[in-house]
Structure 1
């Protein structure tokens, strides 16, 4: 059987067509033994005549992010390279891109990061962006510099994937049945739109609500209610970007919100503008 392809949707990216017209963006699959734990690798390169700000409503995923800012053909002294672990972002993520640069990212499946950094609960990273060495202590110093260079130096995507595979396989994954359970439950929330309440997810999991909360804190990084609402907010954004103005009241009920006002509050708190204002901005010439 052929390998599965990485997902192609742009969920969570605000105004995705605008972003994709300015950068070279692609997703690549990791090695087969890593796929149960990773969504994909994501690779971005840009050379912009003027700055551009991209905005993303984050998934409930931890990312490892290798970044290089500066002329891509220049030596290491003319560019700035960093590597970090980015925990789940509770709010809107905004990033200003300018000049030339590249990013090589690892998006872990929700629940899939802890087998690579088992010393801490995933909630320890939530809302934080920390140097790679904080999650992977052996990447301090020369070892870390070598790992970052191996990922950021190649222009060929296959070489980048090979470097990322080698880095991750050197750090796990450690066997963790709780991680497998957490990944399965988050995937259930993402795929089954009837899962609109934590109580229903607890019943489907066979766990008490308290045990479910503990599992999500330790292995996902946020609570199950947050995950449910975030995926439903992604759906609301996708509807708004589809063209015709949504029936917001009907969509709120469909996505499990108590009423339209609840959806509007969640939407506005995350994006900084109301659903109707966002849809209006998308339709503006």
Structure 2
């Protein structure tokens, strides 16, 4: 464990203002085992000790991913659930806000888009926008996850990797398709995604809803918005019109509207709060 731990103060894709908040909490990421990697992008943990300090607000521009977490701490409850708790976090359609206080920790598995549905034969849309307790039926048996970062990560890895079923071919196709959406700058429209897939648009929409929990248009927009926020945090004096064009928006006005709908502020306001110093 520990392939990625509190890197030097630098922007992090999806984590708002991370370069300026590295002292507030300890963030780690590590790779899954080969067995779990079929479904999981990475494991992660966040821990903090803010005793005697003010609570801290953090914001994440979420990925199209379901998370399975083990959470504990002296703050008593999170996301409407008493601690300690094992929780399933569906895809968050806007941004994820949380206020951390006292002392606490979270260990999580970030599933590949579609990975949670493929591993557990669940409809991802049923948990979109929701945080639910992970019941004993999730793994077909009670799963004792200790409140310890290293051991909890190992228990989750072992349990997720112990998959004895037959993998749905649609999931493998979807995984390759989403990798292209994420990495190919020219993949910006739903019709391009349809052309790159073996499915009709109607089937594509159905596959995304079942496996990812959100439609393909949302996935396309979310990856571009993450890149836009990262660019604003990484370089001073970003030209918003150029940024909008590079990332595939029809014009700057559409970019500003989408950015504001997600983060509740304009790109200029975001730059004033979180932008790279001159």
Would the TM-score normalized by the shorter structure come out above 0.5?
Answer: yes
- Which of 134, 148, 172 in structure 1 is aligned with 2:145? 148
Secondary structure of 1:13's counterpart equals coil
1:81 and 2:84 equivalent? yes
Distance 1:94 1:136 in 2: 26
Q: Paired residue for 2:59?
A: 55
Secondary structure of 1:213's counterpart equals helix
- Which of 103, 107, 114 in structure 2 is aligned with 1:104? 107
- Which of 192, 198, 204 in structure 1 is aligned with 2:190? 198
Q: Judging changes above 3 Å, is the alpha-carbon distance between structure 1 residues 135 and 13 closer, same or farther for their aligned structure 2 residues?
A: farther
- Which of 165, 168, 177 in structure 1 is aligned with 2:160? 168
- Which of 128, 131, 136 in structure 2 is aligned with 1:129? 131
Q: Paired residue for 2:46?
A: 44
Distance 2:120 2:88 in 1: 11
- Which of 67, 70, 74 in structure 2 is aligned with 1:70? 74
Q: Paired residue for 1:91?
A: 94
- Which of 211, 223, 226 in structure 1 is aligned with 2:218? 226
Distance 2:265 2:273 in 1: 10
When you count helix as a share of all residues, which structure comes out higher?
Answer: 1
Q: Paired residue for 2:230?
A: 238
Q: Aligned-pair distance for 1:19?
A: 3.3
Query: Which structure 2 segments of 5+ residues have no match?
Result: 76-81
Distance 2:99 2:160 in 1: 28
Distance 1:84 1:134 in 2: 11
Secondary structure of 2:69's counterpart equals strand
Q: Aligned-pair distance for 1:202?
A: 0.8
Check the 8 A contact 2:39/2:119 in 1, yes or no: no
Check the 8 A contact 1:82/1:148 in 2, yes or no: no
Q: Aligned-pair distance for 1:111?
A: 1.4
Query: Which structure 1 segments of 5+ residues have no match?
Result: 72-78
Give the TM-score normalised by the residue count of structure 1.
0.85
Q: Aligned-pair distance for 1:209?
A: 1.2
Q: Aligned-pair distance for 1:38?
A: 0.8
Q: Aligned-pair distance for 1:20?
A: 2.3
Q: Paired residue for 1:76?
A: none
1:214 and 2:211 equivalent? no
Q: Aligned-pair distance for 1:44?
A: 1.1
Q: Aligned-pair distance for 1:56?
A: 0.7
Q: How many residues align?
A: 264
Q: Judging changes above 3 Å, is the alpha-carbon distance between structure 1 residues 238 and 40 closer, same or farther for their aligned structure 2 residues?
A: same
Distance 2:166 2:160 in 1: 11
Check the 8 A contact 2:95/2:263 in 1, yes or no: yes
Check the 8 A contact 1:65/1:103 in 2, yes or no: yes
Secondary structure of 1:94's counterpart equals strand
